[in-house]
A and B are shown apart, each in its own frame.
Chain A
Amino acid sequence: MLKIFERLVSGLKKTRRGLSSGLKRVFTGNEIDDDFYDELEEVLIMADLGVETTENIIEDLKVKENELKIKKPADLQQVLIDTVKAQMDTDEEAYSFENKVSVVLVIGVNGVGKTTTIGKLAAQYRSAGKKVIIAAADTFRAAATEQLAEWAKRSGADLIAGQEGSDPAAVVFDAVNAAKARKADILICDTAGRLHNKKNLMEELRKISRVIDREFPEAARENLIVLDGTTGQNAVVQAKQFNDIMDITGIIITKLDGTAKGGIAIAVQAELGVPVKYIGVGEHIEDLQKFDKDSFVDALFMDEEEEEAAE
């Protein structure tokens, strides 16, 4: 557990530095006034929380400031941490699918890191002793299957693929049957990146989802949307539109090892009520981590000395 925390700390170093240095500055002032809230607004918006989520958080904070008769900005910091944590609550059952026979369908727009994430997930499940099958249902992007084949080879997972340009639902159909016949623990389905406003492509996704429902109803079903951590407010729109096609059960936020603040994680969860389940903080297999709101939020708000202590 401690080890996971350390990795998170190092992976989120940049993220935290960006957001927390700004927050520290805000909370070290002497008075809670309009300037204080203006500065807080700036810091939260700069962290990609978005106008709406930011305003909600600030409204909430103002109410609590009055209720609890808080006078010093520093005392409001813990209130803010608690507010954000409350928003980021993850269900205890969030990862129960990992211990059942399950189908994990991975969806998202282009270039967010679906294929890489699947490679890492497969490797992690494999090292936990699971039998893993990957369905290469991105039949559109050139060489997507080859990319996935390399990951399958590295992790020791089976790969089910079709021709480039073939029907992705057919690939998934084959993969489901293979998963049943080979008694796989987890079937992970890669899909082509698609912009959420392309109706035909979204319908294609609906079809894939239907095939799984019909052919493998007994399996636990996990629909994970991958969102790029550097994406702005459009991530919320993406999540909503994909959620209209199939019930999203979890969110994966990638690329949090840059300087992006990852505030979109907070915005999306606040909007959709779907938990963030994994975050990607680096290139290595173990850099795909289970999301832990306490570590995430604590790390986000931690100051420099605590940070060094954790390392």
Chain B
Amino acid sequence: MAFESLTDKLQNIFKNLRSRGKLSEADVKASLKEVKMALLEADVNFKVVKQFINSVQERAVGQEVFQSLTPGQTIIKIVNEEMTALMGSETTEIPLKGNNEVTVIMMAGLQGAGKTTTCAKLAGIYKGKGRRPLLAALDVYRPAAIKQLQVNGEKVGVPVFTMGDNVSPVDIAKAAYAHAKANGNNILLLDTAGRLHVDEEMMQELADIQSAVNVDSTIFIVDAMTGQDAVNVAKSFNDRIEIDGVILTKMDGDTRGGAALSIKAVTGKPILYVGMGEKLSDLQQFYPDRMASRILGMGDVLTLIEKATAEIDEEKARDMNQRLKKADFNYNDLLTSLNQVRSMGSITDILAMMPGMGNKLKDVDVDESQFTQVEAIINSMTPAERENPSLMNMSRKKRIAAGAGVDIAEVNRLAKMLEQSKSMMKKFGGSGARKAMKRNKGMFGGFPFGF
């Protein structure tokens, strides 16, 4: 299953053609077959792939590819552009009414798509924007679904309206609406039970809720890992209850998420958010260009960069840069850098976002325990030792090694690494170092150590 990145594959096809200097239509076809395979491996629906390839081919057999010196990249560019265009604009949001009215948003989707979790995440976002959301528990079927919403609601500090599981979802929706009106809540989020799109009775229930409380936006929640069937599910929901937007969940997995393209293609409805993690704060904006790269297996550099800039504390990074310039840094700084890198997520996750790395990584096991070990060693030092590395002597090292539960050689290695980095910084000195730092800033906060 280990696929090379599409970029590599295409470059290989074209490498043999370079000498000829000109591309034939057959060459373009061969390369588009690779694109087709990449899309199918990413779970884009077969029919959607066919249509898509046709439209790319039309553009590709035009002048741009034949005259290009790097036909592989040109084709990728066309594919990427077409895909991005197909996936729509990135600025879409769920329309909200004024603060004095109640905007009703209903979640709908299959079982296990992540409706309850997403519902609470969304409520958290609105609360953060100064709105007054109310969550309503309409899943009266799954055991403890109501309780799950209550717990998640509490975590984001949003009230949850419940009536137990003996009342019909339509009646709960009506009562929740009245409750929202009476209590000044201006957004009502309806968490509904998961249901199959072929279950007529359950689909009717959603339609009934829509008309009973005048739902403003119906949001289709879908697992990003969904396979070929995504088109059937999305189309059924859209035909039956007309959805207004889509939220893709479980995007923090390693699925390439071709379902996103399929769903957009069959419903034409915007993808609003993506669920990127377990935490209630992990609901993020959707970026069509990033999604396109991901589906094509080309990594997700933009998300990586954004993650880095979001997680790294500017202030601390600047402070450390100052000290690096003076080649005066110590174990405290090392620990700070370490934590900054780690706060971006697991190293494997970070590397997986880099182009061309994603799939090769399957076989590489990045040993994150090394980070833990370094942390343990530093934590076993006294504050004075951390502040002033030159204090280190044999007896101190012995004590530290014992405290961290590592061999003394590990402590030595860490000490050496710190020294090496320092002398390296000294060599760079003045402006060179500053430039290097500037480049690095926002990426790893000037993390100078080669792990």
Contacts and interface: CB of A to CB of B under 8 A. Distances in A.
Contact of B40 (A51, A140, A260): A51
Contacts of A196: 253-254
For B147, B225, B252, the residue with the greatest tally of chain A CB atoms inside 10 Å of its CB is B225
A255 interface: yes
Interface string A161-189: 00010000000000000000000000000
B441 to A, nearest CB: 28
Contacts, number: 148
B198 interface: yes
B7 to A, nearest CB: 18
Interface stretch (B88-96, B108-116, B425-433): B108-116
For B46, B145, B348, the residue with the greatest tally of chain A CB atoms inside 10 Å of its CB is B46
Contacts of B112: 110-113, 228, 255
Binding site secondary structure of chain B = loop
Interface in A196-211: 196-200
B411 interface: no
B147 A48 contact: no
Given A143-B147, A147-B142, A232-B259, A258 B196 contact: yes
A236 interface: yes
Nearest to B226: A230
B114 A111 contact: yes
A110 B255 CA distance: 13
Contact of B229 (A42, A48, A112, A146): A48
B54 interface: no
A140 B148 CA distance: 11
Interface string A260-287: 1100100000010000000000000000
Interface residues of A, number: 50
A122 B143 CA distance: 15
A48 B46 contact: no
A158 interface: no
Given A142-B148, A195-B252, A230-B110, A259 B349 contact: no
Contacts of A271: 1
A199 B368 contact: yes
Interface in B210-267: 223, 225-230, 232-233, 249-250, 252-256, 258-259
Contacts of B278: 140
B41 interface: yes
Given A52-B1, A230-B110, A109 B227 contact: no
Contacts of A58: none
A109 B1 contact: no
B225 A234 contact: yes
A113 to B, nearest CB: 6
A47 interface: yes
Contacts of B349: 197
A106 B43 CA distance: 26
Contact of B250 (A109, A116, A151): A109
B244 to A, nearest CB: 22
Given A42-B46, A143-B151, A199 B348 contact: yes
Given A199-B348, A258-B198, A147 B144 contact: yes
A111 B223 contact: yes
A50 interface: yes
A234 B255 contact: yes
B254 A237 contact: yes
B86 interface: no
B404 interface: no
**Closest 6 pairs (CB-CB, A-B):** A232-B227, A111-B112, A232-B43, A142-B151, A150-B143, A146-B144
21 contacts: A45-B228, A46-B47, A52-B1, A110-B112, A111-B249, A112-B112, A113-B112, A146-B144, A147-B142, A147-B145, A149-B144, A150-B144, A164-B151, A195-B252, A195-B254, A197-B252, A228-B223, A230-B110, A255-B111, A259-B197, A260-B228
